[in-house]
Structure formats: structure tokens, C-alpha cells
């Protein structure tokens, strides 16, 4: 399946597919399980609104991602590398190359921003390019 455009449906599929992978990941899965618990439906809806705001600038997300992530004391820079790898892989599976590249570029900027806020460093350049 290759989506050709970014809309609520394609964002929803991306988020569902990505988090299905993340939940199974031996490093990311336990972190998500501890903080999301049984509220996956609620979490996925918030994340879909977040990505809709990021990609479509629709203004429906009004949360504070930095504030949420600052409370995650066990998250380390390596988790961002894994997250970006899985996110990029999923975007490339679902979208035409230019659209996938747009998602990946935004994800990299978000990860760098969160890493700067959480660790006061950009650390090594985070990228999903191979």
C-alpha cells in the first residue's frame, strides 16, 4: 500500500502501524507499557491529532509534548534512534518516497527538539538514512 497524500486516514494508518511495531520492540515496548498502560486507544488518538497538526497544520492538537516527555526519566538518547528507525521504516512502507521523506524529516526535527529539552544536547545527529 502506498499513500500518495497526507490526510487523516493516512496519518491514522501510519500511527497504528508504527505503534504496533514500537510496542513489540524490546527497548521501546516496556517504556510505552509503563507509561501508557491500558490506555492505548486514548494515546493513539492524541498522537494522531499531534501528527495531523504537524503535517496538516490543522490546530486540533493542543497538548505539550515536551512536558509529557520530560517526566519520562528512563528514556535515553538511544530510544530516539530506535523510535526514528521504526518510524522511518513504517513511513517508507506506507507512503510514496516524497511523502515518507516529509514525515521522516519532521520526525527527526521533533526528536532533536525533544532530545535537546530532555538531555540539553542534540547528541549525535539522529537520522534514519541508510
Q: Give 42-93 pLDDT, tens digit per residue.
A: 999 999 999 999 999 999 998 888 767 766 777 888 999 999 999 999 999 9
pTM: 0.86
CA atoms within 13 A on the CB side of 27: 13
Confidence label for 124 from pLDDT (cuts 50, 70 and 90): very low
Domains held by the chain: number = 1
The yes-or-no verdict on residue 101 having pLDDT over 90 is yes
Mean pLDDT of the chain: 89
11-37 burial, b for 16+ CB within 10 Å, e for fewer? bbbbbebbbebbeebeebeebbeeeee
Q: Give domain status of residue 59, yes or no.
A: yes
Query: Residue 108: which domain range?
Result: 8-119
Q: Is residue 3 part of a domain?
A: no
- Domain with 93 in it: what CATH number? 1.10.490.10
Query: Is the pLDDT assigned to residue 121 strictly greater than 70?
Result: no
129 within a domain of the structure (yes/no): no
Amino acid at each position: 500500500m502506498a499513500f500518495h497524500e497526507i490526510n487523516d486516514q493516512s496519518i491514522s494508518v501510519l500511527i497504528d502501524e508504527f505503534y504496533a511495531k514500537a510496542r513489540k520492540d524490546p527497548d521501546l515496548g516496556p517504556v510505552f507499557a509503563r507509561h501508557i498502560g491500558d490506555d492505548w486507544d486514548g494515546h493513539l488518538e492524541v498522537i494522531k491529532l499531534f501528527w495531523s497538526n504537524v503535517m496538516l497544520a490543522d490546530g486540533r492538537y493542543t497538548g505539550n509534548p515536551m512536558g509529557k516527555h520530560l517526566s519520562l526519566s528512563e528514556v535515553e538518547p538511544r530510544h530516539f534512534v530506535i523510535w526514528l528507525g521504526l518510524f522511518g521504516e513504517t513511513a517508507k512502507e506506507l507512503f510514496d518516497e516524497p511523502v515518507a521523506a516529509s514525515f521522516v524529516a519532521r520526525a527527526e526535527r521533533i526528536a532533536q527538539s525533544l532530545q535537546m529539552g530532555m538531555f540539553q544536547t542534540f547528541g549525535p545527529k539522529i537520522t534514519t538514512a541508510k
